[in-house]
Amino acid sequence: MVRIGSHGHGDKPPGVVGKVGLSLFFFAFFAMGSLFEVLILRDFARAAGQRRWEKVPCTIVASEVQERHGSEEPYVFAVRYRYEHKGRVHEGSVYQRGYHGSGGYSKTEELVRKYPADTSTWCYVNPVNSDEAVLRRASMLIGLTFLFPLIFVVVGAGGIYFTWRRRTPEEARPIAPIASAAARNQVLGRYGLAAFFGIFAIVGGVMFYFLSVRPIARTIAAESWVETPCKVLRAEVRDHDSDDGTTYSVYILYQYEFEGQTYKSDRYDFLGGSSSGYKGKARVVAAYQSAGNPVCYVNPRNPSESILKRGFHAKLLLALFPLPFLLVGVGGLVHTVRGRSASPAAAAMLGPIGRIGPIGCMGPTGVGRQVLAPAASPRMKFVAMALAAVFWNGIISIFVVGAIDDLRHGQFSLFPTVFLLPFVAIGLGLIAGAVYQLLAMFNPRPTLELSSGAIPLGGAAELRWSFSGQTRRIKELAVTLRGTEEATYRRGTDTHTDRNVFYEMELYQTADTVEIASGQVGFVIPQDTMHSFEAENNKILWNLELHGDIKGWPDVKESFKIHVTPGNI
């Protein structure tokens, strides 16, 4: 019996040196994740501990915004409050444990407005130490971040375990029980996948609300805010260090009067955040520094709320950034939930023979005349290519625009530009592909009809074809019967599919325009070959390929799957 050597289920195991190296690598994951877990657990325990603190009435004695120069968080909510505990009067000044200040004036002033002087509120006192009190207890939401470093801990520990575990030689491992377990795991895996996409959708939805819906809604609402003269107190470009380099933001502190009261704010627009590109922001700051009569827009229902820039502007498009996450999450969830009730592997476990013929385009085991559907219609090919081009170029354009912006301002850097070039080339290729598929949509469209929907090995069938559209544009036509084996495998995180053509027969070839427009041909499937077979990763496919040559235009290339059965129908 002929066998193929490689089973494609794992490479040669590493030696001791390799295992030690792998273990060190995974240990770094494990140690880093564990360290973060310890820190998170410590903060969570402290926050949970504050739930036992006693809630007592207190009076705000003083409350103001203090400025601390030279700090990343220059605005501090400075508060003093008085409370009584165990028969003694105490004075506290801690707003929240771990609070150090804020980068924005408006946020800090919101706290001043929430806790104004000479008002009563509640504070929380440590029952063990009456001198220790806070206005606001630490959030227990920190516990949710426990899951993120857990991934590193699991990857690290799992990696070490799988590096050193003893494996039974593949030949000695049972197949059937493993397959049964795998089928069960695949069903469980569907739930896992649904949960993954569900989390993606929830996170995407939350991000979309806070980063997209809310800023855009507030921008629209600000159209009715009252235009008010304001005085610029400070205008500067702030820089922020991050893993991706330095980013910049516009910072303008301004003061205005509304209904006899003076307010301060530092809200420039509703998006906030920082990005690369210094010069554009410097121009905005310079304009406000030199502005004779700057105006801001004040919310008449809450005059402490104001903004300098309202209306639609290009930066608002960035607010749509979380949309793909939401779409991927929802799309993945719908696809997973509405997908096949059982995976192919699971189906193979249940059915008596797995699937011995293609199910997709022709129906299960259709007999009698069948109109064949192409594997992919020209419209679908165009849509798929256009979506890929839009998605790819949409991402790449952000970097290209940044690079062009840098170039325009004399900040050309060679390495990032060279690094970007292959990605731009792929983007251009996708655009060219989309244009090609668009042109191909206007080609004559073939219709193929087969005398039988299921042809047994050694059986004969008759194929009829006809074209609609401008058939005369096709100069030559070829119809080919092709048998292909397909093997899908995973290498690392990538999935590859290899194909091998084991049978090919040209059934018809003509340059006659009448014969091209419509014709028929008979053919026989060889007796000593393999019937159609489709499992999850391995397939035997039989196709009728149609190739019409059009000079100076994309050719007609269509593939039609046919169903070859093991025996007589």
Torsional sign, CA 107, 111, 117, 119: positive
Alpha carbon distance 325, 508 (integer Å):
49
Neighbour count for residue 519 (Cβ, 10 Å): 17
Nearer to another protein, 182 or 207 (CB): 182
Site for another protein in 301-360 (CB under 8 A): 344-345, 348-349, 351-354, 356
Closest Cα to residue 549, out of 479, 448, 484, 452? 479
User: Applying CB under 8 A, what is the total number of residues that bind another protein?
Assistant: 80
Nearer to another protein, 329 or 483 (CB): 483
Nearer to another protein, 425 or 524 (CB): 524
Shortest distance, CB of residue 29 to another protein, whole angstroms? 26
Shortest distance, CB of residue 522 to another protein, whole angstroms? 4
- Tokens 């070490």: give the residue: 160
Site for another protein in 490-549 (CB under 8 A): 490, 498-510, 514-515, 518-524, 528-531, 533, 535-540, 547, 549
What is the SS3 string spanning 480-504?
A: EEEEEEEEEEEECCEEEEEEEEEEE
Written as six digits, the tokens of 230 are 């304001």
Residue 3 in contact with another protein, rule: CB under 8 A: yes
Nearer to another protein, 80 or 355 (CB): 355
- Tokens 């801001």: give the residue: 296
Residue 459 in contact with another protein, rule: CB under 8 A: no
Q: Which stretch binds another protein (CB under 8 A): 128-136, 179-187, 200-208, 385-393?
A: 179-187
Nearer to another protein, 85 or 531 (CB): 531
Residue 453 in contact with another protein, rule: CB under 8 A: no
Nearer to another protein, 189 or 519 (CB): 519
Q: Binder to another protein among 32, 61, 117, 179 (CB under 8 A)?
A: 179
Written as six digits, the tokens of 405 are 């912006």
Residue 488 in contact with another protein, rule: CB under 8 A: yes
H-run or E-run covering 306: strand 306-307
Q: Binder to another protein among 139, 180, 413, 513 (CB under 8 A)?
A: 180
Q: Which residues contact 364 (CB under 8 A, 6 or more apart)?
A: 357
Shortest distance, CB of residue 490 to another protein, whole angstroms? 6
Shortest distance, CB of residue 180 to another protein, whole angstroms? 7
The SS3 assignment for 532 reads coil
* Per-residue contact flags (x/-) with another protein for residues 127 to 166, judged by CB under 8 A: ----------------------------------------
Alpha carbon distance 439, 148 (integer Å):
48
- Tokens 């070829």: give the residue: 478
Written as six digits, the tokens of 134 are 């806070």
Shortest distance, CB of residue 43 to another protein, whole angstroms? 43
Own/partner pairs, 183-192, CB within 8 angstroms, 24+ separation: 183/343, 183/345, 183/346, 183/348, 183/349, 186/343, 186/345, 186/346, 187/342, 187/343, 187/346, 189/343, 190/336, 190/339, 190/343
- Tokens 């609300």: give the residue: 209
Nearer to another protein, 405 or 555 (CB): 555
Nearer to another protein, 31 or 181 (CB): 181
Q: Binder to another protein among 111, 211, 455, 457 (CB under 8 A)?
A: 457
Nearer to another protein, 190 or 539 (CB): 539
Residue 175 in contact with another protein, rule: CB under 8 A: yes
Site for another protein in 8-27 (CB under 8 A): 8-9
Which residue type does 237 have?
A: V
Shortest distance, CB of residue 168 to another protein, whole angstroms? 7
Nearer to another protein, 118 or 528 (CB): 528
Q: Binder to another protein among 141, 176, 314, 418 (CB under 8 A)?
A: 176
Q: List C-alpha distances in Å: 94 to 16, 101, 224, 270.
A: 56, 11, 38, 30
Nearer to another protein, 113 or 499 (CB): 499
User: CA angle, corner 193, sides to 191 and 196, nearest 5?
Assistant: 110
Shortest distance, CB of residue 465 to another protein, whole angstroms? 10
